[in-house]
Structure 1
Amino acid sequence: MKVSNKKIQEVWDEHAGEYNTVHNVSADAEREEWKNILKRYIGENIAQRVLDIGTGTGFLAFAAEEIGYRCTGVDLAPKMINIAKDFAKKNGFETELQTADWSNLPFQDDSYEAVINRCIVWTLFTPQKTLSEWKRVLKPQGKLLCFCPASSLEGKIQPDHYEKEIEEQLPLKNASPEQLCKTLTDCGYSEVEILELKELGKDDIFGGWYLLKGVKQ
């Protein structure tokens, strides 16, 4: 069964209206901690261009913009992007927001100093292709930062967002830290490691956070 982007868009469009209240309540409460983490791992130079993949309603992209980075956020789901755009307009954010296929990004090679994402890695149907595409748009020495919920790394089952036939096609759902690191290494990233972010609290949905990171040589 081949999964179409249209099917995935429909699923996340359906989640869009409740996404902030379900997924971002604890993140908003820890906004400063998230910003400190982004600054620590992206770097002090705020002139850097940052791409947030699977931006959803924009939490991570807007946090990065608040630091001063030049941000772009992309998502498969149009309704997610519309909510993010409305929030940006009401709150004065200038992040560029658009729908895009994560595995076929509409950007030139070597465009960004950092690619970031939150709760996205487990959803990849073609990790090798998609992670290689993210590497393509990174500049040399650019950084990939993947924020992964602890619930997906500690033997706990992720909530089923898709039909069973679709869920079974997710190679990285509940992948171990070792599997995730190997996947990045196999895609040509260097300095690959995964770190527990103890400064972020644990909640019933995510159970805490890990950072999977790598560098484009």
Structure 2
Amino acid sequence: MAEIFDRKAGDYDDWYTRPLGALVDRVEKEPIYAYLDPHAGEHILDVGCGTGNFSLELARRGVKVTGIDISDPMLAKARKKAADAGLAIEFLHADAMNLPFGDNTFDKIVSVTALEFAPDLKAVLEESYRVLKPVGRMVIGLIGGNSLWSRHYEARAAREPDCLFRYARFYTLDELLAAMPGKNVQGKAVLFFGPDFDGTKVDEALAIEAAAAREGRTNGGFITAVSYKD
């Protein structure tokens, strides 16, 4: 599995420099940070940290961050970005199915667009929950199933033999909520404009998001859930 991400490390961050990528990142981060509510001094584990998009931003907020990933090239890029920014972040090579930490280690857990690739969603969530401290919270973001975006990735996977999304499973919001361990589980779907949207039309995109929220839609391209540990 690691090798499919190894090949993407070199150009992975290019997505965020494009208008659509920057817009998607903005829309996805809103529910993640609303649920995570990070504070300086907290120790947060970033599961499937990739090149460090969330890890670096959390560290800039004064959070103590540990990021894990199975791809060494992704981790190498994350370490360089952190060093260039003068941020002290611990990045470790580790499998989310078998975390190298003791029980009750972290104040909070976050994982964004990574666990779609885990062989067993419920098991990998239980493993993250294990290392979460009591009264801590776990926030998970996934590509939403039955959405414009999941259908786009499924079509790519069908026509591109080396497409990383061949190895992904796209869950609905209800499926994610059902898999989350812990109590007070809540969730939200966002990203209702599609992959062919003009990323420069920010106001139009936000209007689409607001309308979907009013309608209570759950088939967005990005789904987020939070749970709390007793």
Q: 8 Å contact 2:45–2:65 — kept in the other structure? A: yes
The aligned residue for residue 62 of structure 2 is: 68
Please give the per-residue CA displacement for 1:158-208, whole angstroms capped at 9, x wherever unaligned: 3438779x947x5xx122211111111xxx32111211347xx85628975
**Structure 1 residue 154, shift from structure 2 partner:** 2.1
The aligned residue for residue 130 of structure 2 is: 136
The aligned residue for residue 9 of structure 1 is: 2
Higher relative contact order (CA 8 A, sep 6+): 2
Distance in 2 between the 1:119 and 1:128 partners? 15
Distance in 1 between the 2:60 and 2:196 partners? 26
Q: 1:146 aligns with which of 125, 140, 146?
A: 140
Q: 1:204 aligns with which of 195, 201, 217?
A: 195
Q: Which runs of 5+ in 2 are unaligned?
A: 198-219
TM-score of the pair, normalised by structure 2: 0.74
Change beyond 3 A, Cα 1:28–1:90: farther
> Superposition RMSD on alpha carbons, in Å?
3.1
Distance in 2 between the 1:211 and 1:104 partners? 23
SS of the equivalent of 1:47 reads coil
**Structure 1 residue 14, shift from structure 2 partner:** 0.6
**Structure 1 residue 215, shift from structure 2 partner:** 1.5
The aligned runs of 1:187-198 (5 Å cut-off) are: 188-197=181-190
Q: 8 Å contact 1:39–1:67 — kept in the other structure? A: no
2:132 pairs with 1:123: no
Change beyond 3 A, Cα 1:32–1:65: farther
Larger radius of gyration: 2
Distance in 2 between the 1:72 and 1:124 partners? 19
2:133 pairs with 1:176: no
Q: 8 Å contact 1:24–1:59 — kept in the other structure? A: no
Q: Which runs of 5+ in 1 are unaligned?
A: 1-7
Change beyond 3 A, Cα 1:153–1:48: farther
The aligned residue for residue 88 of structure 2 is: 94
TM-score of the pair, normalised by structure 1: 0.78
Distance in 1 between the 2:55 and 2:74 partners? 13
Change beyond 3 A, Cα 1:39–1:194: closer
Change beyond 3 A, Cα 1:177–1:42: closer
